[in-house]
Amino acid sequence: MIDLKNTPILFIVANPSTRQSLDDMLSGTNITFEFAETSERGLKRATQLLPIAIVLDIDIPALDSYETCRRLRANPLLRSVPVVMLCDHSERDDRAAGLSAGADDFLDKPLDGLELLSRLHTITRLNTYRLLLNDLTRFSWMVEHAQEGYLMLDKAGGIQYANESAVSFLNLPEDFQNLPFNKVVERLYVPEPAEVWESWLEDPSPCYLIQPESPTARAVWVVLEALDTPLDLESHRIVRLRDVTERMSLYQDMRRFHTVISHKLRTPMSMFYTSISILKNRMANLSPEDVKKMMETAITGTDRLAEEVRRILTYVDAPLALNLGKPVNLGALPEMVQSISETLRLRNVLLSLPVDLRPTVIALTPDALEIILHELLDNARKFHPSQNPQVEISIGQMDEDHIRIRVADDGMTLSVEQLAWAWLPYFQSEKDFTGEIPGMGLGFPMVVTLVWKAGGTLHLMNRPDGPGVIVDINIPLESTMRKMERSAAPFGG
């Protein structure tokens, strides 16, 4: 039985004895009720109260009950509220007129207490179901037209329902019923982190679905979230897909811009400023040859500064410009590692690169590889007790399609929580930055996004032989990326 304590019923009754009779019957029950003595007051109070039901006595002076009922039905706020009319059992014409005016049901006078309570509970229960049905209709419309993708899976992971956006996200055919969700996802996306996806059917933790970057298109990022709920005595899973490509691109753009500003402009600016300062303060004591050398250094710094500013402006004007550069070969690593080490003032960075791997071209641009190494080495410095870690960078062939880049340091050992949060490039990056979540800082999530969107994988672990961490990055070869470009045909097509 429905609890009506917080869902009042409005009685529009002019006759004092009828009101007293109703009050006697309903007092002490779980029904909240209110009286209105006139039609005008009843119409006004109904709009204010929005009752779950309205009981209207047919014997009302001035504005009669039929016109009152019609006005109740004409009010958009009250259109779905059931109206019950009190009338004599023998007056069939009154009932016909009441139905024509919009009444839902009738109660006979004189009133019977048990019948009154039973009918009120039945009416309010039916109205509750009607309201729920209306809410379900509105909810269904919202889901169907939502930008997010929504799906419902059965216990085995088969797709039972998908809204229009989900069909678009997953490129589903018309007959998608019972298609395995995990197979559909893996046909179009690379789920990350891989260890989360491996157990997703048993434990639906949030993860990313990524379409790696190609020579003609940027990476696509979709957040996958799920809620398990029991329906029809069987476990169902509600899945939401959110496209966060723009947010991820903005996040990466901000981090890259920060890297360029913080590190790439510092050296040429220092060269220029130092040379000009010497010329300004010691011009009278310098020989023409010294002046020439100072000017050459200043000009070199100015040229480098101008080139970096040009790159920044190019980057701002066309965010894909740096992403679509030529893939890098591993032979560029020694010079890159040396430059980053000098910038970060690291003295103990050892690179191990087999000679036969130097010509190998991987699916990263020089810009992306430089940022990855810079962030990892910077993290190694920050997390070392004396900010002077010993770092070993080793390059190896994982298989015929992938290169492994391992970066191992001797700094701090991370907690389980830090290891768990470190990979989150979007969910918790701002909390990580403000210190609410202990982790590797914004730099490490930046590394994750660059690796993932290149079709690679990344693993972070504590060193088993002492303090420090190991970062294993598996990057596809440039030739492998061509094979990884996935078909856009519908599933099963």
pLDDT digits (tens, 9 = 90+) for 18-31: 889 888 888 878 78
Q: Are 196 and 128 contained in the same domain?
A: no
CA dihedral 238, 162, 208, 231 (to 10 degrees): 10
350 contacts: CB under 8 Å, gap ≥ 6: 390, 391, 392, 393
DSSP 424: -
Q: Are 14 and 104 contained in the same domain?
A: yes
Report the CATH number that the domain containing residue 210 is assigned in CATH.
3.30.450.20
Average pLDDT value over all residues in the chain: 80
pLDDT score recorded for residue 135: 62
pLDDT at 10 over 50: yes
Q: Are 419 and 448 contained in the same domain?
A: yes
pLDDT score recorded for residue 435: 40
User: CA-to-CA distance for 201 and 188, rounded, in angstroms?
Assistant: 18
- Of 185, 211, 243, the residue that ends a domain is 243
User: CA-to-CA distance for 225 and 244, rounded, in angstroms?
Assistant: 13
Whether residue 492 is contained in a domain is answered as: no
Q: Are 270 and 383 contained in the same domain?
A: no
pLDDT digits (tens, 9 = 90+) for 42-86: 999 999 888 888 999 888 877 788 899 999 988 888 888 889 888
Q: Are 477 and 334 contained in the same domain?
A: yes
Do the beta carbons of residue 107 and residue 84 sit within 8 Å?
A: yes
Q: Are 84 and 118 contained in the same domain?
A: yes
pLDDT score recorded for residue 6: 60
pLDDT at 331 over 90: yes
**SS3 assignment for 449-471:** HHHHHCCCEEEEEECCCCCCEEE
Q: Are 455 and 376 contained in the same domain?
A: yes
Whether residue 345 is contained in a domain is answered as: yes
Greater model confidence, 455 or 422:
455
Question: pLDDT class for 335, splitting at 50, 70, 90?
Answer: very high
Whether residue 85 is contained in a domain is answered as: yes
Q: Are 9 and 139 contained in the same domain?
A: yes
- Of 204, 225, 243, the residue that ends a domain is 243
Percentage of the chain lying above the pLDDT 70 cut: 79
Question: pLDDT class for 259, splitting at 50, 70, 90?
Answer: low
Greater model confidence, 493 or 256:
256
What's the count of helices (H) and strands (E) in the chain, helices before strands? 17, 16
Q: Are 478 and 363 contained in the same domain?
A: yes
Is this structure's pTM higher than 0.85? no
Bridge partners, residue 471, by sequence:
407, 460
Among the residue ranges 115-129, 193-207, 312-326, 474-488, the one predicted with the least confidence is 312-326
Whether residue 131 is contained in a domain is answered as: yes
CA dihedral 129, 134, 137, 140 (to 10 degrees): -80
Q: Quick one: which of 491, 482, 472, 390 has its CA closest to 423?
A: 472
CA dihedral 445, 450, 455, 459 (to 10 degrees): -40
Q: Are 67 and 38 contained in the same domain?
A: yes
Whether residue 490 is contained in a domain is answered as: no
Whether residue 325 is contained in a domain is answered as: no
Number of domains in the chain: 4
Q: Are 291 and 353 contained in the same domain?
A: no
- Of 88, 115, 143, the residue that ends a domain is 143
Do the beta carbons of residue 271 and residue 304 sit within 8 Å?
A: yes
Question: pLDDT class for 424, splitting at 50, 70, 90?
Answer: low
Q: Quick one: which of 34, 85, 98 has its CA closest to 57?
A: 85
Q: Are 374 and 234 contained in the same domain?
A: no
Whether residue 276 is contained in a domain is answered as: yes
Whether residue 460 is contained in a domain is answered as: yes
Angle at CA of residue 207, ends 203 and 212, nearest 5°: 140
Q: Which domain holds residue 254?
A: 247-317
Report the CATH number that the domain containing residue 467 is assigned in CATH.
3.30.565.10
Report the CATH number that the domain containing residue 23 is assigned in CATH.
3.40.50.2300
3-state secondary structure of 321: coil
